[in-house]
């Protein structure tokens, strides 16, 4: 298993894809709750590029305050699994030469990503994406769950890990 991961990530374009997609997901989830503030600062003509970049990077250090350390660790795991899964899927698609050969793995990876993104947020106010979509009731529903929404987080991680496992298994035996 690890040998296949190192083999694929040993190729620069797949290592770059895994890193870029993990950072993109991590940044999107970090910046999304503050998109209005970010838009305001980025459109301000009086601030220089350095100040604007400082603002964007300051949100990373605020993550533990916004969500708490368990959610930050969860977000890092989701970003890593997503980046690995995406690069492994692209490698497998290139290896097998056909997109349709990997539909199940791509679908499970997408399902895992969606479930894991729905699990990001705090238990008191609901998840990052569900609360704005469903309104105040989402926070109530999430907080009524036995583990306060941790179920969504674990489901997302399990689905992402499972899809990664399946695609790695396919890479090991692409036509079997």
User: What 3-state DSSP class applies to 97?
Assistant: coil
CA distance 73 to 98: 35
CA distances from 132 to 24, 77, 88, 108, 136 (A): 21, 24, 32, 25, 8
pLDDT < 70 regions, the chain: 98-143, 145, 147-150, 175-176
Q: What is the pLDDT of residue 120?
A: 57
CA distances from 131 to 91, 141, 174 (A): 36, 10, 41
The owner of tokens 């999430």 is 142
Is the distance from CB of 79 to CB of 87 less than 8 angstroms? no
In this structure, what token pair is assigned to residue 47? Answer: 């601030």
C-alpha angle 40-44-50 in degrees, rounded to nearest 5: 105
- The rounded Cα 49 to chain-centroid distance in angstroms is 27
> With left for phi above 0 and alpha for psi between -120 and 50, is residue 122 left, alpha or beta?
beta
Q: What is the pLDDT of residues 9-19, one digit of tens each?
A: 999 999 999 99
CA distance 39 to 15: 31
CA distance 44 to 128: 27
Q: What is the pLDDT of residues 111-148, one digit of tens each?
A: 666 665 655 554 444 455 555 555 555 556 666 767 66
Q: What is the pLDDT of residue 148?
A: 64
Q: What is the pLDDT of residue 166?
A: 84
Q: What is the pLDDT of residue 49?
A: 92
């Amino acid at each position: 298993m690890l040998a296949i991961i190192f083999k694929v990530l040993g190729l620069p374009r797949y290592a770059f894809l895994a890193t870029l997609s993990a950072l993109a997901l991590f940044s999107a989830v970090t910046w999304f709750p503050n998109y209005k503030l970010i838009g305001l600062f980025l459109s301000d003509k009086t601030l220089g590029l350095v100040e604007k970049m400082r603002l964007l990077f300051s949100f990373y250090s605020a993550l533990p305050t916004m969500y708490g350390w368990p959610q930050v660790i969860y977000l890092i795991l989701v970003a890593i699994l997503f980046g690995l899964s995406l690069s492994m899927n692209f490698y497998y698609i290139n290896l097998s030469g056909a997109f349709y050969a990997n539909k199940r793995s791509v679908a499970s990876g997408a399902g895992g990503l969606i479930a894991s993104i729905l699990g990001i947020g705090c238990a008191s106010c609901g998840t990052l994406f569900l609360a704005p979509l469903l309104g105040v009731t989402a926070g109530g529903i999430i907080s009524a769950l036995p583990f306060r929404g941790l179920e969504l987080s674990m489901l997302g991680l399990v689905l992402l890990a499972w899809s990664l496992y399946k695609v790695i298994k396919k890479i090991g035996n692409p036509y079997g």
